[in-house]
Structures are given as structure tokens and as C-alpha cells.
Amino acid sequence: MTKSIITLVALMAFSSLCTAAETNTKEKNSKEFETSKNLDIFNSLYKELDMFYVDSIRPEKEIKNGIDAMLDNLDPYTTYIPESEMDNLKFMTTGEYAGVGAVIGERKGKIYVTEIYEGMPAYKSGLKVGDVFLEIDGKSLEGKTTSQASELLRGDAKTTVTVLVSRPGVEKPIKKEIIRDKISISPVPYAAVMDNKVGYVNLTGFTDKSADIFKENFLDLKAKGIESLVIDLRNNPGGILSEAVKITNLFVEKKSTIVYTKGKVKQWDETYKATRDPIDRTIPIVVLVNRNSASAAEILAGALQDLDRAVIVGERTYGKGLVQTTRDLPYGGNLKVTIAKYYIPSGRCIQAIDYTHRSEDGFVRRIPDSLTTEFKTAKGRVVRDGGGINPDLFVEPEKNATVSYYLYTNSLIFDYVNEFQKEHATIAPVSDFKFTDYEGFKNFVKGRNFTYKLKTEEILNSLKDVAKEEGYLDLSKDEFAALEKKLSHDLDKDLDLFRDEITELISLEIVKRYYYQRGETAEMLKKDKVYTQALELLKDKQRYDSMLTPKEKENAAQTSKK
């Protein structure tokens, strides 16, 4: 009887396995058939359009639109990169390209220089911020876009590009011959010893060799006697995952798990550990983050948080826990495809948006806090998944006044600094520089007939439109008039009220003209609220240590002292 039961169970199990295998085979065949069928339909549809549509069809444009529409249903990081855009991909991963080393922008149909990189060909040629391009290699820039102008400026290293520019305050156009070169943008534009022996490193991206450059700067700061470190990852969009791992390895014990990835294809499952002994096990570290710190920046911040090796200060980060790789396509193109999710040492994934579940209109939402899960750091502090990296010390971000926003976006500050630069060949060192001619700036703004609208005014006008539609406008006209009077802005009043904020924006633009990216960062730190909070924390060792201690252990320690 027992043998019969065992035999029956074995047969049932075998039958189930066969059924499952048959089901999987059917599903696989069905999927392959659907794929083949729909590719055949797409191919036939395009041929019919090409033959019979009333106007000519451009294959590179229409098929690219079809590809983009298909990928748009996935996540925003899975993208098709045609051969013509491969230079941009190379720049994103290496930080290098061949060109002149300048940033250009467009306003009122004119393309002008908005930023110069120190030591690069544009800098060496004497090109200046504010110069307006008239011609590039004899080709007029009239009607051209910034991307078209950028293509003309780029080229092979050691080749020459001739530009004709107009410059504020100079009557005749200026011709410049610029020898293109390999442009390498450092991921560390500024590193310095600050007050109280605090080392500061501004890390702007994770391109090839970022870890080596960061290490070199850190060792230089150590040689100068720093006793604590601030790593600024604000507005860092991320980049190469392995570079973030290498930088984390500088501060955590060998064999520590830093990050691991999980994907549909097992070959993408990988665990990244610290492979070397750290170069500093004990230096107090504060990492600065904001809502634009993403991807590899979140791996560095999150790993240091999970391993209780640094205090995170600022805002909650972006929440990108997805890993991409590139796959070669025919004719020089490339597919950048999301292959896995990454998980930091506590086991949490910080991906904040679920792209796999969309509403009927295609909208995706952030994962609500109520659906996130608790995890523990190495020492037992509570951290959560699904919403970026939450800072240990939250600092409310500063918001610019409306008048400041419009002064900046309408290029009033940019144009004023063009005039300032004409009259000042040099300025004081960044540490001593102070902008003092605010009255001159006010007169400049008034002379340009600058106007702007407050958001409250826009909302009030919308409310008046609704009240008119519903027949209540006449009944409420006195109330609306009183509210309009209270909310109407006064340029003189706003310029005086937000003087300090506007002065900071002007100072940043001036310093960037004379001392470039390193000067801009140094000037920004003078009144940086988040950075100031980091300094105060590093001065207070007891408070710093308490932030890396689980609350229950901290409370127990305080009770035992009593």
C-alpha cells in the first residue's frame, strides 16, 4: 500500500512537471509568435506608407519616432541613441569630448557664450562669456539652433574652427581662430581646506576616473591637515556605478557590501564589495544632498549612511534605483537599457517611482511613504526604501523670490554683468570680493523696462475669470479690487526687499566670469545654509556621534549616565 501511494505521488508530481513544462513552452511560443507577428505588421505598414502616403516620408525621423514611442512606455532611462548622438553618450560616461570648451545658449534668436571652462581652447583664444556668435567657419548662425551651433564647434582634436563674434562694448565683430582639443571636464571642480580644518570636495558626476580624481583631491586635503570632510553631492545626476563603489571603498572596511544589483537576466546580478583597505577609517564625514542628487550619487550617500560612516545633510534625494547598460545596435546606434535595480547595504532599493504600474493615461506616481518598508543600518538605525535617501539632518531648501527668478531667467543679471565686466578688468580674490554697486544694478534694471508677474496675480486673474463665468464678478468687484491692490507688486519695493538674495545671484555671476567654476563654488559657500549646518554639526562631536547612534541605544546611554 505504501509503495503504491509513493508511486502515485511520484506520477502526479511528474505529470505536474510535464504540464508546467508544456505550459511554459506554449507561453514561450505564443510570445515569440506575437513578437514576430507585430514586427511583420510594423514592417508592412511602413512599406505601405512609404509607397502610397501623399508626402515623402523621412525614414530616420518616422522610425525614430516609432522607437521613441515604444520606449516611452518603459522608464525614462531606456533610450535609443542613434549614431549621430553617440558623442553625447561618450561625454556622459567619460566627461570627455573634442571641442572648444564653452557652453552656449540662445536668446531672442541669438546664440551666445554662457560659460567658459578654464584652461580650455575657448579660454586660451580669449573668447568671453556674453560674446554673440555671428559665424562659425564662415557659416551664418542666423536661424540656427544651439545644437546646430554646437555641432559646428565640435570636431576632431587639433583642428581649427574660426568664429566671428560680437562683443558688448566693442563696435566691430571679432574673429577668433580656436584650435579644438580634447575637453575633459573634471568631476571635482572645487576642493579646499575650509574653516576649522574641514575639507570640502564638490563632486559633480561619476564619469570615468572620477574615483581617482576624488582620491587625489582627498589625499591632498589630508596632507594639508584636515580633520573632517564634507562631500557635496548636490545636483549630482550620477553616472558610472563602479566609480561610486570605489569612492565608498575609500572610507569603509574591506569586504563590506556597498551595493548589489538584481535583474531579470541573472548575469546582471552582481554584488559590489570594498576590495581594498580604506585610506581613512575614522575621519568624520558629512554628505550634502538635495532633490537632484541621483543614481550613483545616491549609492555613495546611501552606502555611507547604511554603514553608519557619514551623516547625510540636506533634502531627500531623487530616488533613482535603476541600473542601465548600453547595447550595440546596427549602423552605429546604441540602446541604453535598464537591466536591474540596485540595493544598498541595508537591503533597501531607493527607487521612488514605479514605472511598471501606470494609470490609464500613462501617468506614474512616486511610491507613497505608507508603502515603504523599514530597514536597519549596520548599527541598527531605521532607514526606509522606496523614496530616495532621506537625510539624517533635513535642511529646508531656500526658495528664490519671484522677482529674483525673473531677473535671472530674463537674463537681466547676465546682461548687467556683461556691462560690469567691461568696466572691471579684475576683481578681488573670491574670499575678499563683495558686490557693492546695487544701486547701479537697480538703475540698469529700470532702464530695461523690466516687468514681471507674481504667481498670486496670475491665480487672482484666473479666479476672476471663473467668477465671471459663474456670474459672481460684479458682486465681488470691490473685494477683488482690494485684493488686487494688496497683491500688486512694486519693482522698487521688491528690489529692496530681496536685495540680499539678488546680490548673491549677481555676485555668483560676476565671480564665475573671473574665477570660473571653482570661484563660483567658493562664492556660493559663503552663504550656503546647508553647508553652514554641516560645519556646525562637525564642530559638535557629541551631536555628530549621536546622529549615527540608534535612538534606543542613545536613550539607554543617557539613562545610565543619570
Which cell numbers hold the place of 433?
A: 570680493
**Per-residue pLDDT at 480:** 75
**Model confidence, pTM:** 0.84
Cell output for 191:
576642493
Please give the grid coordinates belonging to residue 112: 551666445
pLDDT the model gives residue 252:
98
Backbone angles phi, psi at 113, to 5 degrees: -80, 125
Please tell me what DSSP assigns to residue 431. Answer: T
Q: Active site residue: 320, 404, 494, 512, which one?
A: 320
Report how far apart, in Å, the C-alpha atoms of 312 and of each of 14, 91, 293 are.
Answer: 55, 29, 12
Q: Which amino acid is at 163?
A: V
Distances (CA, A) of 322 to 63, 116, 234, 295, 353: 27, 33, 19, 7, 10
CA distance 473 to 463: 9
Catalytic residue among 75, 232, 306, 308: 306
pLDDT of residue 489: 67
Number of H helices, E strands in the chain: 18, 21
* Interatomic CA distance for residues 312 and 389, integer angstroms: 9
Q: Which of 295, 346, 404, 507 is catalytic?
A: 295
Inter-residue contact 333 to 81 (CB < 8 Å): yes
Provide φ and ψ at 89, rounded to 5°: -65, -45
Is-contact 303 344, C-beta < 8 A? yes
CA angle in degrees (0–180, nearest 5) for 435-440-445: 110
**Residue 32 cell numbers, joined:** 515569440
3-state DSSP call for residue 353?
strand
Annotation says 546 is catalytic = no
**Cβ–Cβ under 8 Å, residues 227 and 537:** no
Residues listed for the chain: 562
Smallest CA-to-CA distance from 378 within 274, 258, 542 is with: 258
Position 91 scores a pLDDT of: 64
pLDDT at 442: 96
| Alpha-carbon gap, residue 114 to 131, rounded angstroms | 8
What is the CB-side half-sphere exposure of residue 303 using CA atoms within 13 A? 29
Say what the pLDDT of residue 187 is. Answer: 95
Looking at residue 559, its pLDDT comes to 47
pLDDT in tens, the chain (562 residues): 555 555 544 545 555 555 555 656 666 677 788 889 989 998 998 999 999 999 988 888 888 888 888 888 888 899 988 877 776 666 666 666 788 999 999 988 899 999 999 999 999 999 999 999 999 999 999 989 998 999 899 888 999 999 999 998 888 999 999 999 988 889 999 999 998 899 999 999 999 899 999 999 999 999 999 999 999 999 999 999 999 999 999 999 999 999 999 998 888 899 999 999 999 999 999 999 999 999 999 999 999 999 999 999 999 999 999 999 889 888 888 899 999 999 999 999 999 988 877 766 666 778 888 888 999 999 999 999 998 999 999 999 888 888 999 999 999 999 999 999 999 999 999 999 999 999 999 999 999 988 887 677 777 778 878 888 888 778 888 887 777 777 666 788 899 999 999 999 999 999 999 999 999 999 999 999 999 999 999 999 999 999 999 986 655 555 445 4
295 given a catalytic annotation? yes
Determine the Cα–Cα distance for residues 144 and 428; give it in Å rounded to an integer.
Answer: 38
| Active-site residue, 488 included | no
- Grid coordinates of 20: 508546467
Provide Rg for the chain, Cα atoms.
Answer: 29
Three-state DSSP at 372 gives coil
C-alpha 80/C-alpha 92 separation (Å) is: 15
Q: Which domains does the chain have, with CATH numbers?
A: 40-72 (no CATH), 96-184 (2.30.42.10), 190-394 (3.90.226.10), 402-539 (no CATH)
Q: Which amino acid is at 145?
A: T
- Report yes or no: 380 and 550 within 8 Å, Cβ to Cβ: yes
Rounded to whole angstroms, how far apart are CA atoms 280 and 394? 26
Give the pLDDT confidence of 352-407 residue by residue, as tens digits: 988 877 766 666 778 888 888 999 999 999 999 998 999 999 999 888 888 999 99
The gap from C-alpha 269 to its chain's centroid, in whole angstroms, comes to: 26
Phi, psi of 335 (to 5 degrees): -115, 120
Task: Tell me the CA distances in angstroms from 525 to 219, 455, 507, 508, one per residue in order.
Answer: 22, 29, 12, 10
**Phi (first) and psi of residue 380, to 5 degrees:** 100, 10
